[in-house]
Structure 1
Amino acid sequence: MEDNHEYDDGIIKETGCLEEDDIIDSAALVQPQRCERCRYDFHIVYSLSYRVPVLYFRAYWSDGQPLALQELEKNIPESTRQELTVHKWTFITQEEHPYLNQPWFTLHPCGTSEWMKLLFTRDTSTLALGGVAVHRYMVSWFSFIATVFGLKLPFGMFGSSDSHTLASS
């Protein structure tokens, strides 16, 4: 039986796996993953056309290189990846930031108005006030949006209120 191992300072090295003319297919090799952290910038911008807040965000590596959409999808929670295929409001698109005129990702707002109405439909206090308090609306909206990125809101945010209301339409 042939011994295909080499012993060097107590370390065993396999030597007989490849013949001299064997071809190594780099496409079959596992490519190393980037181990560095990425940073996210989040902006909330009110959309006049959709009449809802919209989350704009960008993600980039520590060297400043932006994440491609495929890299971004790998960095979000598994539950979000599953949601991306099910619910239209969670589609991540790339658009020009309305104030910075740079490409940013966004969670497309096309269904936001409908699910926010559903959230507040059964709340009779909302109807009595003639609308939803702005703070309550924003906290509710952001608590839903934050789950896309695995963010958690401080519990204290839910207790605050303000006197401004958004008229229900």
Structure 2
Amino acid sequence: MQSLSSGEPFAQSTSHYEDWMLKMTTCEMNILTSQEFNCAIDQFKDFLLDNLQSTVRFKVVVAEVKQVNEERYMFASSTIGQDDTRLEFTISYDKFYQVPIFSFRFYINDKLDFNIDELDQSLKESSNLVLNRLVDLSIIDHHLLHQPWFQIHPCETLNTLNTHVQSQRTITSGQNYNYKYSISYLSCWFGLYALPEIFPQFSIRPVIYS
């Protein structure tokens, strides 16, 4: 992934759209539908709280599933390191790209900070949290909350996930097929396109089903 300059606004470029359409027409994708996402997000929230780990001190203060019209999403707030650093993030679903989206923002001393250079330095000093500057981050208008948030552009997500989870529908077949596949999919996605990708000090324990 290529890094963006500080504060570069989100824009859906023609090349992003054309690349995405080409992959959609040439591959049979393993897609988590919006209905499957809506059904699984409560269980994934619980799974995430049980399996999220980090080399830096953090405490989840709020974690809940909310809804805007018919679209459900997870909202979480956590203190990182010292209590003056607060991370908020959401997990929602993009119907155009047909993938989950991780959006996040930080409060430093109760001040919302979108200057990526200043934020990176503040996190290092206050929490020993290191931002992966190779990740392509943009400041976008949250598609459900209509507020500015950081986000990884989702144009490559579907193709990457297809490579990683193509065997999951066979592996997780059986009585709890839908639940197992959805949680496995979301767990794989979270590791590749959410908190652990942006901040490598975080990780999620893998899903293991007997």
| Aligned partners of 2:91 and 2:101 also within 8 Å | yes
Q: If the length of structure 1 is used for normalisation, what is the TM-score?
A: 0.57
Task: Name the residue aligned to 2:130.
Answer: 77
Name the CA distance, whole Å, in 1 between partners of 2:187 and 2:155. 19
Give the C-alpha shift of residue 113 in structure 1.
0.6
Partner amino acid, structure 1, of 2:202: L
* Mapped pair 1:158 → 2:207: yes
* Mapped pair 1:139 → 2:177: no
Name the CA distance, whole Å, in 2 between partners of 1:159 and 1:127. 10
Name the CA distance, whole Å, in 1 between partners of 2:101 and 2:137. 12
Gaps of 5+ in 2: 1-81, 124-128
Task: Name the residue aligned to 2:147.
Answer: 102
Partner amino acid, structure 1, of 2:89: F
Give the C-alpha shift of residue 95 in structure 1.
0.7
| Aligned partners of 2:105 and 2:113 also within 8 Å | yes
| Aligned partners of 1:56 and 1:104 also within 8 Å | yes
Task: Name the residue aligned to 2:76.
Answer: none
| Aligned partners of 1:61 and 1:67 also within 8 Å | no
Task: Name the residue aligned to 2:56.
Answer: none
Q: Which has the higher helix share?
A: 2
SS at match of 2:144: coil
Task: Name the residue aligned to 2:86.
Answer: 39
| Aligned partners of 2:85 and 2:107 also within 8 Å | yes
- Structure with greater Cα Rg: 1
* Mapped pair 1:53 → 2:100: yes
1:99-126 Cα offsets, whole Å, 9 max, x none, are: 2211111011111111101112355725
Name the CA distance, whole Å, in 1 between partners of 2:207 and 2:168. 16
Report percent identity of matched pairs.
26
Aligned CA distance change for structure 1 residues 124 and 159 (closer, same or farther; 3 Å): closer
* Mapped pair 1:92 → 2:145: no
Name the CA distance, whole Å, in 1 between partners of 2:209 and 2:117. 38
Matches for 1:103-142 after TM superposition, within 5 Å: 103-121=148-166, 125=170, 133-142=181-190
Aligned length: 117
Measured on the aligned residues, the alpha-carbon RMSD in Å equals 3.2
Task: Name the residue aligned to 2:34.
Answer: none
1:65 to 112, 125, 128: 112
Q: If the length of structure 2 is used for normalisation, what is the TM-score?
A: 0.47
